[in-house]
Amino acid sequence: MSKNVEFQYNWLQGESWASGHLCIGSSKFEFVCSYILGDPLEQLLHAVYQIVPGLAPFPRKKIDFVMLEEPVEYIWEFEWITQQNLSVTIREKGSELKMGVVYRELCHIEDLLKALVHGINKNAVLRSNENIEKVYQQFTIYLKTA
């Protein structure tokens, strides 16, 4: 189930907002996110890292994290469906506390990792974050051995 996966993330150093998109096949999710409670890209990468066998010491079958776009929260959820394919589900939680699915697609783990690596590689400012660079390097090594 290999699909074209694209990830783009735009952030300027010193800004408190970033924007980007995740595209799997023909389905695209565009986002704006806040840095008010931490680094959303770092949180995304750590969530994905924790589900990859061979990287995480105890890989998880399912993990989520919250990406904040005030006053809306996007809950990104990654769940293994088969041995090589993930479900990527994004739920929106608004100020009225209702939650609904705004994005759901399946993709191959290697396709997702390649898209993340490619999206980060283009931006030296993103890679200047030590934690992002560390996960970026681990994803790159994993892809070379996969």
pLDDT in tens, 61-120: 999 999 998 888 999 999 999 998 999 999 998 867 677 999 999 999 999 999 999 999
Q: What is the pTM of this model?
A: 0.93
Give all domains of the chain, ordered by start, each with its CATH number. 5-145 (3.30.2450)
Q: What span, in angstroms and rounded, lies between the C-alpha atoms of 134 and 69?
A: 26
Note the pLDDT tens digit of each residue in 18-68. 999 999 999 999 999 999 888 999 999 999 999 999 999 999 999 999 999
Cβ atoms < 10 Å from Cβ of 136: 19
Q: How many residues does the chain have?
A: 146
Order the strands of the 17-24 sheet from edge to edge: 5-10, 17-24, 27-34
For residue 90, which of 140, 141, 40 has the smallest C-alpha distance?
40
- Distant-in-sequence, close-in-space partners of 21: CB < 8 Å, separation ≥ 6: 6, 7, 8, 28, 29, 30, 31
Angle formed at CA 136 by CA 58 and CA 38, multiple of 5 degrees: 80
For residue 38, which of 72, 67, 8 has the smallest C-alpha distance?
67
Would you call 136 helix, strand, or coil by DSSP?
A: helix
